Amino acid sequence: MGRHKIQNGHDRMLKLASPIITTYTQHAHLLSILGGYEPAHGWIYSNYINLYSNKYLQESSWADFYFPKPYELRPSDHCEWLTTQKLHRSLIKDHWGEFLEFLKYAIDHGWYLHLMLDYFHIAGSSHFESSHRIHDALLYGYDLNKGLIYACDFLIGTSYGSYSIPIQKINPAFDDGELSWNSDYLNGIVYLYRLDPDRKDGFVIENVFRSMKRYLEASVLEYWDMYNFGNQKRIVFGKDYYGALSAYLRNQPEPEELDLRMFYLLYDHKKMMTRRFDYLTKSGFTDPAILPSLSEIEGQCKTIVNLCLKYKVSRHIKEMNKISDFLKDAEEKEYEVLSKAIG
């Protein structure tokens, strides 16, 4: 993913980096912005430590990284390196007339835009001119000479990445969201993000180790302990996510219906853990001897994703058994390695 910054009145592209985490757009968008800004790396590695998921994934496949108030606030609301604004789509229409004018104004002033677009109007999407399907994209640039808007999302191709939208399509892609058959989980809000260079690095190693300890203990997290007690019995925390995935495999009667995001989230978690300890090692907090073990666990979890892909197609019980074995082995190795690392 490119890292550009052009400003001459006709085009502007804000800086982006390839995100570490790509299971969900809310994390991929945020880390695309922060990843290219080194002072914010301490914040990244102080977060994305704990996991939570529905206990019975076969009933509702949802799992995610933990941030406080997970059902009310998005991770960007917790990030001290971003200034965030929220505007309702109706306000933009009423004040600016057309979305393109607002987009240019926002990007010219350094704001990334996170919003729902209708992929009926976006070439390259499987929904192009066939289905009004909305999804949340990150807009980060425009080029008036080329007639293009630059965005990131999953719905072009099979993985998260950048793509361009013809400039004449951006207004209908914004306006026609109300025609969609799926729900607007941003609730009509356009999120604006801008890096705040005046922030100071608040990295505290004790916070990282305490969060890791809670991950290993599979402790009930604060939100469910204090604000949503009734829901906690249906949620698993921390390393117990491995067990939830194993139960999901056993109890899902139709392998082709497995939600691969649940397994990819595990892989994303291990990718982040490896990079976190690389950061901690370079900062003088941990011994580099831990890195090969973490890379091995990360590789195991990537293998789990690939085996899940095979299992969805083959339906062979031997593939399911392999996945279960890899899950058990990765869990045991991770517990041993992290327990030694944090003391």
Over the stretch 167-182, which tens digit does the pLDDT of each residue have? 999 999 999 988 999 9
pLDDT of residue 5: 42
User: Which stretches of the chain are DSSP H helices?
Assistant: 25-34, 41-46, 89-96, 99-108, 167-175, 205-217, 222, 241-251, 261-282, 291-314, 317-342
pLDDT of residue 198: 85
Mean pLDDT computed over 50-55 = 97
Around 191, how many Cα atoms within 13 Å sit in the side-chain half-sphere? 21
Round to whole Å and give the CA distance between 112 and 216.
Answer: 36
Give the least confident one: 71-80, 137-146, 215-224. Answer: 71-80
Q: Give ∠ CA 14-17-22 in degrees, rounded to 5.
A: 120
pLDDT of residue 261: 95
107-129: pLDDT as tens digits: 999 999 999 999 999 999 999 99
Which strands, in side-by-side order, build the sheet including 235-237? 63-65, 51-54, 235-237
pLDDT of residue 4: 38
**Count of other CB atoms within 10 angstroms of residue 148:** 18
pTM here is 0.93
pLDDT of residue 199: 84
- Burial of residue 152, with CB atoms counted within 10 A of its CB: 0-12 exposed, 13-18 middle, 19 or more buried: buried
